[in-house]
Amino acid sequence: MCKLNWDRNQLWEGCILASIAHAIMVAHYPDISHEQSWDGFNYSVQDSSGTRGTITFHPNFLVGAFRNENSERALEYINAIEYIKDAPEKAKEVASEEALLYLLDEIDGKTVPVITTAFWGNLDEIYSHDTYEDFIKNGGFLIERQIDNMENAINEWEEEYEMSETQIVLLKSIFKRKIENPTKEIVLSEKEIQMIGSEDEEGLSESRISFEELGITWKL
């Protein structure tokens, strides 16, 4: 068992930042709409190249599960619970009822969660059966930016999405409001919607959906 050197709040903020960047830029690249999403307190991410994962931000527990189809572990099925066998029973219940349901596949005629790495934690500490290096290799690389410091993460999303200065200003503004008051509804003004910089109807529709998953609506 390995203690991971990051905490729940850091991870949550990183996922929020990533999701806001995605919500802005999906307006320009609607084909990536599936790569990040929120369903209640479940954050899902995938890379379109065979790796996907879901993190459950339950009020009392944190569980993350990932499947890398290109990992050697994907060649032989292992019961998903084995990856979190030392977690508290309540955390295992959260995993079974939430995160693992987003990673189902068919094995020998049965629909079961299939993963290649995982972590669990509470409000203070996060653990994995894998070393950090093995966690990253077997699917955790999907959240490397989400666990980086904010300045680095913003720079990386800017480069990844080729974001403009205006879009970065919008990203920072929305992120600040969201983390300062997570449960308060945020309404983007017409000016802010224009700052997204897209006229693509499909892209704007996907952008609006992604923002709504974060509790952020548009003023129409």
Q: What is the pLDDT of residue 124?
A: 84
Q: Which residues lie closer than 8 Å to 12 by C-beta, 6 or more apart?
A: 57
Residue 146 DSSP one-character state? T
The string of pLDDT tens digits covering residues 81-108 is: 999 999 999 999 999 999 999 999 998 8
Rounded CA-CA distance 44/19 in Å is 10
Which helix (H) or strand (E) element contains residue 187?
A: strand 186-188
Q: 158 pLDDT band (50/70/90 cuts)?
A: very high
The string of pLDDT tens digits covering residues 24-48 is: 999 999 999 999 999 999 999 999 8
The answer to whether 103 and 80 are in contact (CB under 8 A) is yes
Rounded CA-CA distance 138/109 in Å is 25
Cα 188 to chain centroid distance, Å, stands at 22
The answer to whether 37 and 110 are in contact (CB under 8 A) is no
Cα 138 to chain centroid distance, Å, stands at 16
Q: What is the pLDDT of residue 108?
A: 87
Q: What is the pLDDT of residue 72?
A: 92
220 has pLDDT over 80: no
Number of domains in the chain: 1
Q: 12 pLDDT band (50/70/90 cuts)?
A: very high
pLDDT above 90 covers a percentage of the chain that reads 92
Task: List the domain range (segments joined by +) for residue 209.
Answer: 2-218
